Amino acid sequence: MAIERILVSMPTRPWHREKMRQALPEAQITFSDSTNMADDELAPFDALVGEVNPNRLHVLKNLKLLQLHFSGVQEGFLQLKDKQPQAVLCSASGAYGQAISEYLLAALLSLYKLLPRYRDNQNKKVWEDLGRMRSLRGQTVLVVGAGSIGGAFAQLARALGAGEIIGVRRSEAFAHPPFDAMHTLDALDELLPLADVVSLSLPHTEETRGLMDARRFALMKEESVILNVGRGSAIDEAALLGALRSGRLWGAALDVTDTEPLPQDNPLWEEPRVLLTPHVSGRYNLDATWENVVDIAIHNLQAWPGGPFISRVDYSTGYRERVD
């Protein structure tokens, strides 16, 4: 039996809704925020696109497909494996590469060219040459989380003349362009002293929590830069502040923090070498991302039950299934 009743619980524009209706003419599609729906309203749907509280998954007893609209997968959604084994779980991994990689490049160049500090001076009406800048040309870039986002950033870095580009993945893989080498997290301590730029695009897991602590910041190359667009839990913020204030790091760009919103008394707010943004590198702030998520959802709804599915989640890892 095909998917009959679809709840789209994510923001959509009129043309997204029309596109989905045309692609799935036999299905009844409802566009509504699941948080505003009672259990008896939620229960009849056999597919959901967007987000639902993981604690309410039991209400969707006939669920066939859960299409999340974000890349990372919260642990609560992995309970589907045992509680609703008939359901296919997909993330939107692959939709955010363009948006987040462009953010990473923009943030890196802003730090290299001291633009946040010049903006601070502009607000104070201070005309002052702040001195030495940096260039990406010839730099060694370490991409920790070499999936679709990390790979897109590596391509941009390569286009701007970066030197060696090294990828780090959860599992072993062969290096492929634009990467010159590929390693697993076990090699991180050996790689940090080589890198001028370290970008993190990692999910929150027990393995990644506190990944960048004081010991690892001490391993980083003098005047290197760290960029984080994954989860804030990957960085020990006190250790990061220590590395910045000691002069070891040139700067840091953080689109994510361990606590969000960042508390007003957090010293990161006032650190001149930090570029802070409120978790905006992804989301739907770039139209292309929105279109990508809708297209992934349509593909997976049409592909049910046999697939192949885009970004189907591997329950054993919480990441999208690896396709060789």
Q: Is 279 a catalytic residue?
A: yes
Q: Is residue 260 annotated as part of the catalytic site, yes or no?
A: yes
Pick the catalytic residue: 190, 207, 260, 322?
260
Which helix (H) or strand (E) segment holds residue 245: the answer is helix 237-245
Per DSSP (E only), the strands in the chain are 5-9, 28-31, 47-50, 65-68, 88-90, 141-144, 165-169, 181-184, 197-200, 224-228, 249-254, 274-276
Question: Taking CA 104 as the corner, what is the angle to CA 101 and CA 105, rounded to the nearest 5 degrees?
Answer: 90
Q: Reduce the DSSP state of residue 156 to 3 states and report it.
A: helix
Contact 198, 224 (CB under 8 A): yes
Catalytic residue among 279, 283, 291, 321: 279
At residue 19, the 3 state secondary structure works out as helix
The closest of 179, 173, 184, 178 to 207, measured between CA atoms, is 184
Contacts of 18 (CB under 8 A, 6+ apart): none
Return the C-alpha torsion angle 43, 31, 302, 53, nearest 10.
Answer: -50
> How is residue 249 written in tokens?
């790091």
Catalytic residue among 69, 183, 204, 231: 231
Query: Catalytic amino acids?
Result: 231, 260, 279
